[in-house]
């Protein structure tokens, strides 16, 4: 029996090894196919920024080609300007930000930054040019200093402090017992939503990106925090080309242009007051948010959305 067992055992080992190799090959292929989708071209050049104008030209995209999500989306964010994208849940707003980062390639049309198709530039240079300020920032379980310096590894204490001052968080930090060495995050000092966002803004200021992507949280915030966030956005977007992905409508009031996206198409565009006056889809979205609004007026005549 032992004589029979040994060869069988041998085959068992070989079988497991082959199976493991196949699994490795399989995962490698999976990895490669994911990478291939967004691989740098052999001749990819670094993105050359000159003002950082963003242009979506007839962009078609679906995560699954059988289910189109964006159906010919075109818009321009001129250098240093702010464009906000609003629309019902599932319209494709966040998808636009993922395409700008080139997490996926478009199925049709083009995404250009300063006239360069983002498929023709290196991903490192593309992503290095974009800063994100999410509304629900997650901080590392580390010092405030580390959390800000993360924006540009190797930043000096003076640079970190300058960024914190610009983000209006320096005085708050100095009032803490351990100042910049205070540990924050889940296991340290818990910061409020607005404070966490200021840390994220300081981090972004340090990174100094030409393009800012402001991704608004889906969750409802109180009116005070809403106002604070609007002020923060105004501050950090100054002089940067800014794309606001608005899941609610509170941060769009100041935008140079608002795009209303519905089922993957831009159905309306204009400034806040003009769109309200036009009484179309945007006005209806506002009205719907007003109905569910609980807080006092955010701006005169308009209720804070929840």
**Token representation of residue 244:** 């606001």
In the bound complex, what is the minimum distance in angstroms from residue 93's beta carbon to ligand ATP? 3
Residues in the chain: 306
* Closest to ligand ATP by CB, 3 or 89: 89
CA distances 38 to 106, 119, 209, 222, 264, Å, are 10, 8, 21, 39, 22
Q: How far is the CB of 74 from ligand ATP (least distance, A)?
A: 17
d(CA 12, CA 16): 6
Please, what is the minimum distance in Å from the beta carbon of residue 264 to ligand ATP? 8
Whether 76 contacts 55, CB under 8 Å: yes
Burial of 131 per CB tally in 10 Å (0-12, 13-18, 19+): buried
Binding site for ligand ATP (CB under 6 A): 63, 69, 87, 89-95, 218, 247
Residue closer to ligand ATP, measured from CB, 93 or 272: 93
Nearer residue to ligand ATP within complex by CB, 92 or 194: 92
Least distance in angstroms from the C-beta of 121 to ligand ATP: 23
Shorter beta-carbon distance to ligand ATP: residue 38 or 79: 38
Residue 94 vs 230, nearer CB to ligand ATP: 94
- Toward ligand ATP, which CB reaches closer, 192 or 218? 218
Minimum separation from the CB atom of position 106 to ligand ATP (A): 14
The nearer residue to ligand ATP, 92 or 151, going by C-beta atoms, is: 92
Q: Which CB atom, from 185 or from 305, has the smaller least distance to ligand ATP?
A: 305
Smallest distance from the beta carbon of 268 to ligand ATP, in angstroms? 15
Nearest to 147 by CA among 196, 187, 192, 190: 196
Closest CA to 134 of 77, 73, 201, 47: 201
Least separation in angstroms between residue 279's CB and ligand ATP is 23
Between CA 183 and CA 284 the distance in angstroms is 45
Token pair recorded at residue 19 = 């199976």
What's the min distance (Å) between Cβ of 284 and ligand ATP?
Answer: 16
């Amino acid at each position: 029996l032992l004589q029979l067992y040994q060869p069988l055992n041998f085959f068992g080992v070989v079988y497991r090894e082959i199976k493991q190799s196949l699994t490795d090959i399989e995962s490698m292929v999976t990895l490669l196919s994911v990478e291939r989708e967004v691989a740098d071209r052999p001749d990819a050049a670094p993105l050359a920024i000159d003002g950082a104008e963003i242009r979506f030209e007839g962009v078609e995209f679906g995560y699954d080609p059988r289910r189109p999500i964006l159906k010919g989306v075109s818009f321009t964010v001129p250098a240093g300007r702010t464009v906000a994208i609003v629309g019902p849940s599932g319209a494709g707003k966040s998808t636009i930000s993922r395409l700008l980062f080139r997490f996926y390639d478009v199925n049709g049309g083009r995404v250009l930054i300063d006239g360069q198709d983002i498929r023709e530039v290196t991903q490192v240079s593309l992503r290095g040019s974009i800063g994100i300020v999410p509304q629900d920032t997650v901080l590392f379980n580390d010092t405030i200093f580390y959390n800000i310096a993360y924006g540009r590894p190797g930043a000096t204490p003076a640079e970190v402090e300058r960024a914190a001052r610009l983000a209006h968080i320096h005085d708050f930090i100095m009032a803490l017992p351990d100042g910049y060495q205070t540990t924050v995050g889940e296991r340290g000092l818990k910061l409020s939503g607005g404070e966490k966002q200021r840390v994220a803004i300081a981090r972004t200021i340090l990174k100094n990106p030409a393009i800012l992507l402001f991704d608004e949280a889906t969750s409802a915030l109180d009116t005070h925090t809403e106002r604070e966030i609007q002020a923060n956005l105004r501050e950090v977007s100054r002089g940067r080309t800014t794309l606001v992905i608005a899941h609610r409508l509170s941060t769009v009031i100041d935008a140079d242009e608002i795009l209303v996206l519905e089922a993957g198409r831009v159905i309306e565009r204009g400034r806040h007051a003009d769109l309200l006056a036009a009484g179309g889809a945007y006005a209806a979205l506002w009205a719907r948010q007003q109905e569910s609004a609980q807080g006092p007026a955010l701006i005169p005549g308009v209720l804070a959305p929840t």
